[in-house]
Structure 1
Amino acid sequence: MSKIQNKPVCREAYVEKVRGAMHHRAQWLYLLLDEAKKRGADWEEIARAATSRCGCFQGAGLYEDWTDHTSLKSFAEVFADEDFKKYFDMEIVESTESSLQIKFHHCPLVAGWQAIGCSDEEISKLCDIAMDGDRNIANSCHLDFTLGDTISNGAPCCELSFRPKE
């Protein structure tokens, strides 16, 4: 039996449609990586490199939209806008000038992987690969990123932390 608990709270129609698109993307990512693995490719290396690149260009875009580069409160406004908070049932635990702590209470990617029948081990690996995107968003914005507990490892939420680089 799966240890992963991943039930959404927000059920607004448009939120569910966006989550559905995220499920679809998570599923084709898994299938693409599975086919690479079947052909002998180092699927994890490929996935991490691609996800890291994606995080870098997403981070560069966020950095441009982030108006006050000295304030994590300002970063939170572009990283976790009102719609994005709903997609992931996000809770901003702390938002100060020097610290942003967020809990994600639902993950549409995990839901997509669960729906396609991925094992808990596969989901945990795919989740960590997906977090390479967040790691590189932070890096592109000159922030330190810390990942705490994750839904994919059986925790009730994913814990993300951002701080200015020292």
Structure 2
Amino acid sequence: MMPEISRSLHYGAVRDRARIYLAIFREVSARYGQPAAISALRAASRAHGLEVGARLAHLAPRDFSGMLDSYFLGPGSETYSPDVRELSATCLEVQYMTCPLKDGWREMGCSDDEVCTLLSCATGFDDGVWQAAGFDYELETWAPGKIGCCRTRLTEKRGT
């Protein structure tokens, strides 16, 4: 558990990352169009996720308790208020109840559609993490009217 000051600083740092994502997204959209901006932001997010996921690969194929402790409940996780919905021998499902990225975009006046688009771009990170870590996953991003933010469900990778 992080001390409150550290938690606040971490939350602020991630929220500031939302500002950078938005600035890049808007700049690339203005220069090359929104499809190019989505592609670029997703690719950059995915590249970062591949780096993070490689450090978690020792937990594949089914150490869901280890993944919960190392990733979802690890240092800084309080920032996202993870709610563990399922932990079993075959699955780990976690619902994030808070998200400084989403909060940052909303504070900057982004519409619900913009927030959904930016979250979709940010899920490139998740694609990279779970591919490199060696897990199959389902990801449900936030949509207007939903509580919290994204929900992740991990299972053992099927086939190669």
- TM-score w.r.t. structure 2 length? 0.86
- Residue equivalent to 2:104: 112
CA contact (8 A) 1:110 1:152 kept: no
**TM-score, normalised by the number of residues in structure 1:** 0.83
Question: 1:42-72: per-residue Cα shift (whole Å, max 9, x none)?
Answer: 11111111111111111012225x4x74321
One-letter amino acid of the structure 2 residue matched with residue 101 of structure 1: E
1:98 is aligned to 2:115 = no
Question: What amino acid sits opposite 2:156 in the alignment?
Answer: P
**Do structure 1's residue 153 and structure 2's residue 144 form an aligned pair?**
yes
AA matched with 1:48: R
Aligned counterpart in structure 2 of residue 137 of structure 1, from 124, 129, 135: 129
Q: Is the 8 A contact 1:124 1:152 kept in 2?
A: yes
Gaps of 5+ in 1: 1-10
Deviation at 1:152, TM superposition (A): 4.2
Q: Deviations over 1:15-55 (max 9, x none)?
A: 12111111111111110111111112511111111111111
Distance 1:95 1:13 in 2: 30
Q: How many residues are matched?
A: 154
2 CA distance for matches of 1:101 and 1:159? 7
Counterpart amino acid of 1:85?
A: S
Quote the Cα distance in structure 2 between the aligned partners of 1:84 and 1:19. 8
8 Å CA contact 1:22–1:108 kept in 2: the answer is: yes
Unaligned runs of 5+ in 2: none
Distance 2:52 2:144 in 1: 26
Q: Hey, what's the Cα distance between the residues in 1 that align with 2:144 and 2:76?
A: 22
Mapped partners of 2:74, 2:49: distance in 1: 20
RMSD: 2.0
Separation in 2 of the partners of 1:70 and 1:127? 27
